């Protein structure tokens, strides 16, 4: 366990920098985590992060990559509904990197 300091507040994270308490997430923390991943949050990044949080709210897990690409495609146009677009935004993999920024737990298993 370790902690990150954002805006004078302390947040607990696990060894890999994922927030321990999902309820503590806020946009400033997301910006901070994104920076540690060398990502500057744009509107496009936020679209993905917001969708992840909505999906998680309903299903208690991050969406499958395919579900995510489809949702983004519907929202932003078919040219963006593919994993290349998502990898462009989150080079380490939309699953793990975007989840981390969205304050969701890391997907585990053979993924």
Partner 1 sequence: MADIAAPAYRIFPIIPALKPGAMENVRSFVANEKIQTAIGFPGQLVEDWHDKAIAKMGELLGKYRSLRVFMDACVHCGACSDKCHYFIGTQDPKNMPVARQDLMRSVYRRYFTLPGKMFPALVGARDLTKEVLDEWYTYFWQCSECRRCSVFCPYGIDTAEITMAAREILDTVGYGQKYSNEIIGKVHRIGNNLGLPGPALADTLEGLEEDVKDATGVDVRFPLDVKGAEVLLITPSADFFAEPHIDSLIGYAKVFHATGTSWTLSSMSSEAGNFGMFIGNYDQLRAIAMRIRTAALELGVKRIVIGECGHAWRVAYSFLNTLTGVGDGADANDRFAQMLQKQLDHRYKQPSHICEFTWDMIQDERLSFDKEKNDKHIITFHDSCNVARGSRMGNYAGGQFEIPRNIIRAVANNFVEMNPATTREKTFCCGGGGGLLTDDLLELRVKGALPRMEVLQNVVDEHSVNFMATICAICKAQFTKIMPIYGYDRRMVGGVHQLVSNAILLGDK
Binding site for partner 1 (CB under 8 A): 1, 15-16, 37, 59-61, 63-67, 70, 83, 92-93, 95-96, 105, 107-111
Are 80 and 69 spatial neighbours (Cβ–Cβ below 8 Å)? no
Q: Least distance (Å) from partner 1 to the CB of residue 18?
A: 11
For residue 110, indicate whether it is catalytic: yes
Which residue, 7 or 59, has its beta carbon nearer to partner 1? Answer: 59
Q: In the bound complex, what is the minimum distance in angstroms from residue 68's beta carbon to partner 1?
A: 10
Question: What is the rounded distance in angstroms from the CA atom of residue 8 to the CA atom of residue 40?
Answer: 21
Closest CB 33 distance from partner 1, rounded Å: 13
42 or 60: whose CB is closer to partner 1?
Answer: 60
Q: CB–CB of 32/6 below 8 Å?
A: yes
State how far the Cα of 2 lies from the Cα of 71, in Å rounded to an integer.
Answer: 34
State the residue for tokens 């298993």: 109
28 vs 64, beta carbon nearer partner 1? 64
**Phi, psi for 45 (deg, rounded to 5):** -60, -40
Catalytically active residues are: 110
């Amino acid at each position: 366990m370790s902690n990150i300091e954002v805006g004078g507040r302390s947040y607990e994270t696990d060894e890999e920098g994922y927030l321990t308490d999902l309820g503590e997430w806020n946009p400033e923390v997301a910006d901070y985590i994104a920076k540690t991943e060398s990502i500057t949050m744009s509107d496009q990044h936020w679209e993905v992060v917001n969708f992840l949080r909505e999906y998680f709210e309903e299903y208690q897990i991050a969406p499958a990559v395919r579900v995510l690409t489809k949702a983004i495609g519907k929202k932003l146009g078919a040219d963006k509904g593919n994993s290349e677009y998502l990898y462009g935004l989150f080079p380490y993999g939309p699953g793990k990197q975007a989840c981390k920024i969205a304050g969701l737990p890391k997907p585990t298993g053979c993924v």
